[in-house]
Amino acid sequence: MHLRSGSSLADLAREINPVVRGWINYYGRFYPSALVPSLKGIDHYLMRWAMQKYKRLRRRRSRAWQGLEKTARLYPGLFAHWKLLRPRTTG
């Protein structure tokens, strides 16, 4: 996934969301403790994708993570796993 720098974030979401929803449905019921590390791994690949896609993020891992967190706050429904990993805060 991180090597597809020609794709947009929405294209990646459209491609992987059905698979991730299947993982959430299956592992969430039968093996939920294995689900969270797998979903965090997807975020790691998204961070690497951002570093490949945008020249200003190369060798700036913390900025890539910050950008991913900001995108997750702005568009929480873009990826299926963001609803589970980032609980809604009130306030």
Residue 53 one-letter amino acid: K
Separation between Cα atoms, residue 82 and residue 69, nearest integer Å = 10
Instruction: Give the sign of the dihedral formed by CA 67, CA 71, CA 73, CA 74.
Output: positive
Mean pLDDT of 15-29: 92
Structure pTM? 0.82
DSSP state, 8? -
Q: In angstroms, rounded to a whole number, what is the distance separating the alpha carbons of residues 70 and 86? A: 11
Determine the average pLDDT of the residues in 10-19: 93
Q: How far apart are CA 70 and CA 82, in angstroms?
A: 12
Chain segment 47-89, per-residue pLDDT in tens: 999 999 888 998 889 999 999 999 999 999 999 999 887 765 4
Is residue 59 a contact partner of residue 70, using CB atoms and an 8 Å limit?
no
Report pLDDT for 16: 92
> Mean pLDDT over all residues of the chain?
86
